Amino acid sequence: MRKKRLIYIFLVSFLLLVSKKAFAQVDQDFYTRGIGAFLAEYVGVSGYLVELSFGGIASTFIRAALLLLGMVFISFLIYGGYLMLTAAGESKQVEKGREVLSTAVVGVAIVLAGYGITYWILRLTVMATQSTTVELPY
C-alpha cells in the first residue's frame, strides 16, 4: 500500500513539474510545407534544439539531471511530510519523517552547491582563456 502511495506521489509531482502550455492554434503553413519544415523551424525557436557538440550534449544532460533532482526532492518532501502528518502520536514515525526531510534538504544543497562551484570554475576558465565574454551553454 505504501509503495502505491509513493508511486502516486511521484507521478503527480512529475506531471505538475513537467507540464507545458499547449496552444490549440496551428500555423497554416504546417499543412502546406510538411512536418519536417515545421519541426525544423519551431523546435529551433523553442530552445529544444540540441547542439551536437560536447557542450550542447553536456548542457542537455545537466538540465535533465537537475530536473530529475527536483522531482526526487519534491517527492521526498511530500513523503517526509506525509510520515509526519500520519504519525498519530508515534514519535518514531515523526522522527523518521524529520530524518527524510533533513536528508532531502542536505542532499539537494550538496548537489546545487556542486553545480554552482562547477559553473563558477568553468566561467572563470572560459573568461581567462578568451579575450571576449562567452556564455556557457547551461
DSSP string, 21-52: -------THHHHH-HHHHHHHHHHHHT-PPPS
In a domain, 38, yes or no: no
Q: How far apart are CA 121 and CA 70, in angstroms?
A: 23
In a domain, 105, yes or no: yes
Q: What is the mean pLDDT of residues 51-78?
A: 81
Q: How far apart are CA 62 and CA 50, in angstroms?
A: 13
Q: What is the mean pLDDT of residues 89-115?
A: 92
In the chain, how many domains are there?
Answer: 1
Fill in the amino acid letter for 130: Q
Q: Which of 6-10, 65-69, 81-85 has the lowest mean pLDDT?
A: 6-10
The whole-number pLDDT of residue 67 equals 85
In a domain, 134, yes or no: yes
* Under 8 Å between Cβ of 99 and 112: no
Could you tell me the pTM of the whole model? 0.54
Q: What is the mean pLDDT of residues 81-94?
A: 90
In a domain, 24, yes or no: no
Q: How far apart are CA 24 and CA 27, in angstroms?
A: 10
Give the range of the structural domain holding residue 62, as residue numbers without chain letter. 1-18+51-138
Three cell numbers written together for 110: 550538496
Question: What confidence category does residue 22 fall into, taking pLDDT thresholds of 50, 70 and 90?
Answer: low
Return all residues near 119 (Cβ < 8 A) that are at least 6 apart: 136, 138
Q: How far apart are CA 19 and CA 13, in angstroms?
A: 10
